Structure 1
Amino acid sequence: MTAALLLVATAALLWPGGTALRRRRLRRLTRGRRSASRAAVPPPAWPALAGAAAAAGGALLSTPLVAALAGAAAAAAVRAVLRQREGRRDEERLDALADALAALAAELRSGRPLEAATTSAVAVCADDASGAALARALRVPGTAAAGPGTDLDRALARVAAAVRLSAHTGCSLAAVVGAVEDDLRARRRQRLELRSATAGPRASAALLAGLPLLGLAMGSGIGADPWAVLTTTPAGQVLLVLGVALEAAGLTWSARLVRRALR
């Protein structure tokens, strides 16, 4: 099976059509099996599945209260991971769009017509969805929605406006495309700098979030058995619910502060 996959990848690389098309074919081959396996369970259902699994494990190992808290915590954790992954995918789409705009500007400056330059730019785009959206903005600029939206939507709206302006006045489209590319790359550098600046506070928040677990472990190590107190006594159950609520509130507030700093 591995040898067959290597032969198919080699054939895709050696197939005529240019380096950009070869990279695109290889990317589609490597992502095909992963996308097919992920399509079986849609991402919106993952928090519910994780919560149900954690609740079932908590019910088997401890009390119903622990099961409910474990299910809620697992669902919230998976939802946060999915949100983080979606943010990374958005950044990858912006990087792919910036590369495509750089290729488009170079093609236009060399004197190629817009249709041929669009085909070349879409071919070098590392994200198929971003490439298709760029093609629509260039070929049918009236479909690009203006106004508030994601960074990708705003960039495509600027490109579509530049196409309409160039068609009406004859101004250079390459200069505006290059300016949009420079803006995307500048925003990317700013996000990286802000992420580096907030790495310390994020690490501190994660460390503080793990201190209650460390306290439970230390109490169990000296023979105090705090877990039994928290799960079997009425006062301990009240304290457990309050502690989990405060923990969730602290993590949510810390994440919100970091998100506001990254904007």
Structure 2
Amino acid sequence: MTGGLLLLAGALLLWPGPAALARQRWRSVVRSADVGLRPALGVPLPAVAATAAGAVAALLSTPLVAALAGGCAALAARAELRRRAGAQEEARLAALVEALTGLGAELRSGRSLDEATRAAVAACADDDSGRALARAVRSPGDGAGEADDGGELGRALGRVAAAARLSARTGCSLAAVVGAVEDDLRARSRHRLELRSATAGSRASAALLAGLPVLGLVMGGGVGADPWRVLTTTGTGQLLLVAGVGLEVAGLVWSARLVRRAVR
């Protein structure tokens, strides 16, 4: 038990901070929740996490604990991949909004569409978003401006392509239409941030409740009851351990789903 706690503490100390994650966010291009966030050998991160956690738990405890640790590690890795993919999509959306700001400014200054598009793409912080914006503006009628995935970025590029088609058909100012799309994207981003702030308390409560069973084990060991031995060496304890871990995972998944539905 003590060895497992020491390994967990070491892993938390080595976990990259927000600054390192932000730098990685701008260096990589995410096309799905799994692509681009895998180890160098192409093995999915959940499989690596499950294998590592299962191996450590097998050395420190029973095979049942190893199986449960592997499953929980895989679920945690999937949740982390989903969180990083969402953060990177938000970063790409922010880069697209800034590129739209530059495109509108260049068009209002009197530059041609090609020159304004090249300047906006050059100023875009994400190369892939810049190229997609150029396709959406220059070829809005053939669907080339839409992103490969169906996420928020793809819908945003679809609105940009629709704005370019509207300008081409009606002759209205492309700068005005692009500005309207930019305002819409900024409003949507502010709305998502407000919803995340409103649900921050719920997420913190769910995390606190999830840690209470671990605190109970530590307190039980502190008073000499040794609940870990009961849970891992007796038949009744093993059944209770499996049921407790299952209920814990179900509660976390349910609370995360409720928060995601509220944020949408």
TM range (shorter): 0.7 to 0.9
What letter corresponds to residue 123 of structure 2 in structure 1? V
Partner of 1:180: 181
Summarize the Cα distance change of 1:39–1:51 in structure 2 as closer, same or farther, 3 Å threshold.
closer
Pair 1:196 & 2:191 matched: no
| Distance in structure 1 (CA, Å) of the matches to 2:136 and 2:48 | 38
Partner of 1:136: 135
Q: Is residue 121–residue 133 contact of structure 2 (8 Å, CA) maintained in 1? A: yes
Partner of 2:251: 250
Q: CA deviation at 1:187?
A: 1.1
Gaps of at least 5 residues in structure 2 are: 1-22, 29-35
Q: Which moved more, 1:166-175 or 1:65-74?
A: 166-175
Within a 5 Å distance, the mapping from 1:188-227 to structure 2 comes to 188-227=189-228
Partner of 1:91: 90
Summarize the Cα distance change of 1:202–1:186 in structure 2 as closer, same or farther, 3 Å threshold.
same
What letter corresponds to residue 175 of structure 1 in structure 2? A
Aligned residues: 231
| Distance in structure 1 (CA, Å) of the matches to 2:217 and 2:226 | 8
Q: CA deviation at 1:37?
A: 11
| Distance in structure 2 (CA, Å) of the matches to 1:213 and 1:61 | 17
Q: CA deviation at 1:128?
A: 1.1
Partner of 2:40: 40
Summarize the Cα distance change of 1:37–1:71 in structure 2 as closer, same or farther, 3 Å threshold.
closer
Partner of 2:154: 153
Q: CA deviation at 1:166?
A: 2.1
Q: CA deviation at 1:38?
A: 7.2
What letter corresponds to residue 93 of structure 2 in structure 1? L
Q: CA deviation at 1:89?
A: 0.4
In the superposition, the TM-score normalised over structure 2's length comes to: 0.82
Q: CA deviation at 1:145?
A: 4.5
Q: CA deviation at 1:152?
A: 1.4
| Distance in structure 2 (CA, Å) of the matches to 1:173 and 1:41 | 46
What letter corresponds to residue 40 of structure 1 in structure 2? A
Partner of 1:54: 53
Q: How big is the alpha-carbon RMSD for the aligned residues of Structure 1 and Structure 2? A: 2.3
The one-character-per-residue Cα deviations of 1:210-241 (angstroms, maximum 9, x if unpaired) are: 00000000000011100010000000000000
What letter corresponds to residue 96 of structure 1 in structure 2? A
Summarize the Cα distance change of 1:117–1:39 in structure 2 as closer, same or farther, 3 Å threshold.
farther
Q: Is residue 163–residue 177 contact of structure 2 (8 Å, CA) maintained in 1? A: yes
Q: Which runs of 4+ in 1 moved over 4 A?
A: 36-39
Question: Does the residue aligned with 2:258 lie in a helix, a strand or coil?
Answer: helix
Question: Does the residue aligned with 2:224 lie in a helix, a strand or coil?
Answer: coil
Q: Which moved more, 1:113-122 or 1:184-193?
A: 184-193
Summarize the Cα distance change of 1:54–1:204 in structure 2 as closer, same or farther, 3 Å threshold.
same
Partner of 1:127: 126
Partner of 2:18: none
The one-character-per-residue Cα deviations of 1:63-100 (angstroms, maximum 9, x if unpaired) are: 11000000000111111111001000011011000000
Q: Percent identity?
A: 69
Greater helix content: 1
| Distance in structure 1 (CA, Å) of the matches to 2:39 and 2:129 | 20
Partner of 2:167: 166
What letter corresponds to residue 88 of structure 2 in structure 1? R
